[in-house]
Chains A and B, each alone.
Chain A
Amino acid sequence: MILIHCPYCEQTLPELEFAYAGEAHIARPAEPSAMSDEDWARYLFIRANPRGRHNERWRHIHGCGRFFNAVRDTVTDKFETTYKAGEPRK
Chain B
Amino acid sequence: MSAHRIAGAGRLSSAGRVNFRFDGKAYQGQAGDSLASALLANGVILMGRSFKYHRPRGLLGAGAEEPNALISVDRGGGRYTPNLRATAIEIYEGLNARSQNRWPSLQTDLGSINDRLGMFFPAGFYNKTFMWPRSAWEKLYEPAIRGMAGLGDAPTDADPDVYGATYAHCDVLIVGAGPAGIDAALAASASKKKVFLLDEQDEMGGGALGDPALWPWLAESLKDLGKLPNVTLLSRTTAFGYYHDNFIGAVERLTEHLANPDHHPREKLWRIRAGEVVLAQGAIERPLVFEGNDVPGVMLASAAGTYLARYGVAVGGNVALMTVHDSGWRDLFTLARAGVSVAAIIDLRDTVDEGLLAEAQELGLRVELGSAVIGVAGRQAVKGIEMARADGSARQRIACDALLMAGGWTPSVHLWSHSLGKLEWSEDWGAYLPGQPNENVRCVGACGGTWSFGSGLSIGQLPTPKNPSRIKAFVDFQNDVTAKDIALAVREGMKSVEHIKRYTTNGMATDQGKTSNLNALQLASRALDRPVQQIGLTTFRPPYTPQTFGALAGHAKDALFQPVRKSPIDPWAEANGAVFELVAQWRRARYFPKAGEDMHAAVARECLAVREGAGIFDASTLGKIEVVGPDAAEFLNRMYTNPWKQLEPGRCRYGLLLREDGFITDDGVSARLAPDRFHLTTTTGGAARVLNMMEDYLQTEWPDLNVWLTSTTEQWAVIALQGPKARDVIAPLVSGIDLSGEMFPHMAVREGTICGVPTRLFRVSFTGELGFEINVPAAYGRHVWEQVWQAGQAHGITPYGTETMHVLRAEKGFIIVGQDTDGTVTPSDAGLEWAVGKKKPDFVGKRSLARPDIIASGRKQLIGLLTDDPAEVLVEGAQIVADPNQPVPMTMIGHVTSSYASATLGRSIAMALVQGGFDRMGETLHVPMPGKTITAKVVKPMFYDAEGSRLNA
Contacts of B244 in A (CB 8 A): 1-3, 77
Asked whether any CB of chain A lies closer than 8 Å to the CB of B846, the reply is yes
Asked whether any CB of chain B lies closer than 8 Å to the CB of A65, the reply is yes
Contacts of B847 in A (CB 8 A): 32-33, 35, 40
Contacts of A21 in B (CB 8 A): 696
Chain B positions 668 through 703: 1 when the CB is less than 8 Å from some CB of chain A, otherwise 0 = 000000000000000000000000100111011101
Q: Which of B65-73, B157-165, B848-856, B898-906 contacts A (4 or more CB under 8 A)?
A: B848-856
Which residue of the partner chain A has the closest CB to B247? A1
Given A19-B692, A37-B852, A40-B847: A66 and B699 within 8 A (CB)?
yes
A1 to B273, CA, bound (A): 10
**CB < 8 Å: which of B245, B848, B850 contacts A2?**
B245
Contacts of A77 in B (CB 8 A): 244
Asked whether any CB of chain B lies closer than 8 Å to the CB of A44, the reply is yes
* Residues B699 and A85 in contact, CB atoms below 8 Å apart: yes
Asked whether any CB of chain B lies closer than 8 Å to the CB of A76, the reply is yes
Q: Which of B702-737 contact A (CB under 8 A)?
A: 703
Contacts of A31 in B (CB 8 A): 842
Contacts of B692 in A (CB 8 A): 19, 59, 61
**CB < 8 Å: which of B696, B848, B850, B851 contacts A67?**
B696
Which residue of the partner chain A has the closest CB to B438? A76
Asked whether any CB of chain A lies closer than 8 Å to the CB of B889, the reply is no
* Residues A67 and B841 in contact, CB atoms below 8 Å apart: no
Which residue of the partner chain B has the closest CB to A3? B245
Contacts of B846 in A (CB 8 A): 32-33
Q: Which of B830-873 contact A (CB under 8 A)?
A: 841-842, 846-848, 850-852
Asked whether any CB of chain B lies closer than 8 Å to the CB of A52, the reply is no
* Residues A33 and B841 in contact, CB atoms below 8 Å apart: yes
Q: Which of A34-90 contact B (CB under 8 A)?
A: 35, 37, 40-41, 44, 57, 59, 61, 65-67, 76-77, 85-86
- Closest Cβ–Cβ distance, residue A11 to chain B (whole Å): 13
* Residues B848 and A44 in contact, CB atoms below 8 Å apart: yes
A66 to B700, CA, bound (A): 10
A77 to B842, CA, bound (A): 38
Which residue of the partner chain A has the closest CB to B659? A44
**CB < 8 Å: which of A14, A27, A61, A66 contacts B273?**
A14
- Closest Cβ–Cβ distance, residue A27 to chain B (whole Å): 7
A27 to B466, CA, bound (A): 74
Contacts of A1 in B (CB 8 A): 243-245, 247, 271
Chain A positions 1 through 32: 1 when the CB is less than 8 Å from some CB of chain B, otherwise 0 = 11100000000001000010100000110011
A14 to B271, CA, bound (A): 12
Which residue of the partner chain B has the closest CB to A27? B701
* Residues B850 and A33 in contact, CB atoms below 8 Å apart: yes
Which residue of the partner chain A has the closest CB to B709? A65
* Residues B851 and A40 in contact, CB atoms below 8 Å apart: yes
**CB < 8 Å: which of A14, A28, A44, A67 contacts B699?**
A67
* Residues B245 and A33 in contact, CB atoms below 8 Å apart: no
Contacts of A35 in B (CB 8 A): 847
Contacts of B852 in A (CB 8 A): 37
Contacts of A28 in B (CB 8 A): 660, 697, 701
* Residues B848 and A40 in contact, CB atoms below 8 Å apart: yes
Chain B positions 635 through 661: 1 when the CB is less than 8 Å from some CB of chain A, otherwise 0 = 000000000000000000000000011
Contacts of B700 in A (CB 8 A): 57, 67, 85
Which residue of the partner chain A has the closest CB to B701? A28
Contacts of B660 in A (CB 8 A): 28, 44
Find the residue from B273, B661, B700 having the highest chain A CB count within 10 A: B700
Contacts of A76 in B (CB 8 A): 420, 438
- Closest Cβ–Cβ distance, residue A34 to chain B (whole Å): 9
- Closest Cβ–Cβ distance, residue B858 to chain A (whole Å): 19
Contacts of A85 in B (CB 8 A): 699-700, 703
A59 to B691, CA, bound (A): 13
A42 to B851, CA, bound (A): 13
Contacts of B701 in A (CB 8 A): 27-28
A86 to B703, CA, bound (A): 9
- Closest Cβ–Cβ distance, residue B167 to chain A (whole Å): 8
A40 to B696, CA, bound (A): 19
Which residue of the partner chain B has the closest CB to A14? B273
- Closest Cβ–Cβ distance, residue B911 to chain A (whole Å): 29
- Closest Cβ–Cβ distance, residue B350 to chain A (whole Å): 48
Which residue of the partner chain B has the closest CB to A77? B244
- Closest Cβ–Cβ distance, residue B713 to chain A (whole Å): 16
**CB < 8 Å: which of A2, A3, A37 contacts B851?**
A37
Which residue of the partner chain B has the closest CB to A69? B700
Which residue of the partner chain B has the closest CB to A24? B700
A28 to B847, CA, bound (A): 11
Contacts of B851 in A (CB 8 A): 37, 40-41
Which residue of the partner chain A has the closest CB to B841? A33
- Closest Cβ–Cβ distance, residue B181 to chain A (whole Å): 25
Contacts of A59 in B (CB 8 A): 692, 695-696
Q: Which of B416-444 contact A (CB under 8 A)?
A: 420, 438
Known: A21-B696, A61-B692. 6 other contacts (CB 8 A): A1-B247, A33-B846, A35-B847, A44-B848, A57-B700, A66-B699
> Considering the complex of A and B, which 8 residue pairs feature the smallest CB-CB distances, nearest first?
A32-B847, A3-B245, A2-B244, A67-B699, A28-B701, A1-B247, A67-B700, A40-B847
What are 23 A-B contacts with C-beta separation under 8 Å?
A1-B243, A1-B271, A2-B245, A3-B245, A21-B696, A28-B660, A28-B697, A31-B842, A33-B842, A37-B852, A40-B848, A40-B851, A44-B660, A44-B848, A59-B695, A66-B699, A67-B695, A67-B696, A67-B700, A76-B420, A77-B244, A85-B699, A86-B703
